[in-house]
Structure 1
């Protein structure tokens, strides 16, 4: 299966969702290696770009091996966003995405993220002006609605299409839900039936079987994978394998997990240096090893590491616990 967004052709319809603090360049490269059809950057403040913020430059960095990649902006000033979009269009990204679904209070309280679902006229103005100003496809990610009393995803989707969006991604939860409860796939179906542009479903897809179920129940054109990809770039490989042969590969063995963590850490160090890279790996290690025997002991100790050598030694001991059946306390305490 493939998916086309404007002029950008994806090899498959499986998309890495933008996640703050997760989908940086090193992690995106791993997901690309595992077969993700489209990668999305962490969301970037349009206002911060206009101020030439140094940290924002890093968020916008893309690599040669990750295309196609979508750069995600957030903001609420239509003219500022439009001008920023013009300024950055020559950067090596393929799609410009707008975040109109982020539920975090500091974003929402500024009238940004999912707050824009309460102001669809402004949301439409942002997309209309930007889509007219740049040649790259413009997409929008939003939610079911702001809360259960304001479910407006269908009408919102129609306005985004009319404004010139090349595709839309719908998270089947309201802002009030954050990430709790079950995602409402029926609202994704309703949106798909209401517009002609590609619709990407998001929410509660954690593997090949749930992905196939979402396609069947909603008719969506693509699926965005968020939390299920944390510590699990293999999910994109599994989705592709299931589509080809109908079987789900076995979960990676601890030795393979160790190798992926070390590859991830090496990329973090390459792009951010050892001090920052290793500290950022601590949360990733917890995600990578969740559900495996002895992972609790590893997670307790991982916050103490501050070098790649310490990380490698700790992971070697963790793998040894699985191969020698030695109790975890003997190695990790």
Structure 2
């Protein structure tokens, strides 16, 4: 898989997820086998560039290449300026968000709302590609709704504009994250254009990854929600694609180790107050399905300091170890 001059080590990419794909999470997923990780979306509104949130999202210190930063907005020149700003702050690839289904994004005609205006799509892509001397990629959905699937048309616009790779989530904006993703549209786009195509949506297992790659002929796959609390999914898929065999699920001791390191990275990156609050969702994802985790997660959300979080997390996993719990996950309640 190649994007511009960047040759990825494999076909696995971490999807951009607001509030999730910060630098600690991207680094962790790359360590666990992802070939690339796309950042949370950065607003094209220059008035926000001085905010702590935007500055954190532009912080790539120590991050493994290639560094892909997603920008969001609806104005071609503002997006072009945002692309230059992020390139100057370390981005090696610029990704344009035309896939987010969130109402607060679509209500300002950004994200997947842009799919309704193909002329504006063309203007945005042309402006951003011309603004930077690094590769520009695009993430879209199959269309605005099931009656207006125009991914194929958008794909041709993207290719003609100089976009270097196209990621497609197999749902429309109207679908949000409901129902199941479809891959026929992705396969049709892949057959019609020459630039790399990345398949996204409901890729949750090694078997599903292999199936989607074969079914769509996509150049790579993009994994989002399935990696939350399960960053080792990338090594599992890599191993399965290479050998046809499953890796053993991680033992509880490894989950404990990965989680604790992730928590410390979050505290360092965000500071005590924000780090503790952001850590709560990650703790919930990591422990879901482990023995006794339901009550643990409930009590964890009441803790106010990093020391308390670390202590209770260590205590929870120590209890599992004392019980001889070796498998990674079991059904809740067993």
Range of TM-score over shorter length? over 0.9
Cα distance, 1:301–1:50 mapped onto 2, change above 3 Å: closer
Counting only pairs closer than 5 Å after superposition, residues 223-234 of structure 1 correspond to structure 2 as 223-234=221-232
Correspondence for 1:314: 312
Could you tell me whether the CA contact under 8 Å between 2:69 and 2:86 is conserved in 1? no
Deviations 1:156-211 (CA, angstroms, capped at 9, x unpaired): 11111111100000000011111111101111101101110000000010121110
**Matching of residues 54-203 of structure 1 within 5 Å:** 54-203=52-201
1:287 and 2:285 matched: yes
Q: Report Cα offsets for 1:127-153 as digits up to 9, x if no partner.
A: 112112211000000001110111111
Cα distance, 1:88 vs structure 2: 3.2
**Alpha-carbon distance, 1:50 to partner:** 6.4
Q: Distance in 2 between matches of 1:139 and 1:245?
A: 30
User: 1:198-217, aligned counterparts within 5 Å?
Assistant: 198-217=196-215
Q: Which residue does 1:263 correspond to in 2?
A: 261
Deviations 1:14-44, CA, capped at 9 Å, x for gaps = 0000000100111111111111101111001
1:10 maps to which of 2, 5, 8: 8
SS at match of 2:158: helix
Tell me the distance in 1 between the aligned counterparts of 2:24 and 2:89.
18
1:43 alignment partner, SS class: strand
Q: In structure 2, what is the equivalent of residue 276 of structure 1?
A: 274
From the superposition, tell whether residues 241 and 260 of structure 1 become closer, same or farther in structure 2 (CA, over 3 Å).
Answer: same
Q: Name which of structure 1's ranges 308-317 and 39-48 shifts more when overlaid on structure 2.
A: 308-317
Residue correspondences, number: 324
Cα deviations by residue, 1:234-269 (Å, 9 ceiling, x for unpaired): 011112222232222222222211111110111011
Q: Which residue of structure 2 aligns with residue 302 of structure 1?
A: 300
Identify the residue that residue 250 of structure 2 maps to in structure 1.
252
d(CA) in 1 for partners of 2:19, 2:120: 28
Which ranges of 4 or more aligned residues in structure 1 deviate by more than 6 Å? Answer: none
- Give the conservation status (yes or no) of the 8 Å contact 1:39–1:66: no
Distance 2:40 2:196 in 1: 22
Partner SS, residue 64 of structure 1: coil
**Are the counterparts in 2 of residues 131 and 164 from structure 1 also a CA contact under 8 Å?**
yes
Q: Could you tell me whether the CA contact under 8 Å between 1:49 and 1:56 is conserved in 2? A: no
Structure 2 portions without partners, runs of 5+:
325-334
Quote the Cα distance in structure 2 between the aligned partners of 1:123 and 1:290: 40
Tell me, in whole angstroms, the C-alpha distance in 2 between the residues paired with 1:57 and 1:273.
Answer: 14
Displacement of 1:92 after TM fit? 1.4
* Whole-angstrom CA distance in 1 between matches of 2:34 and 2:47: 27
* Paired residue secondary structure (1:232): coil
Q: Residues 270-302 of structure 1: CA distance to partner in whole angstroms, max 9, x if unpaired?
A: 111122112111010110111222111111111
Q: What is the CA-CA distance between 1:51 and the residue it aligns to?
A: 5.3
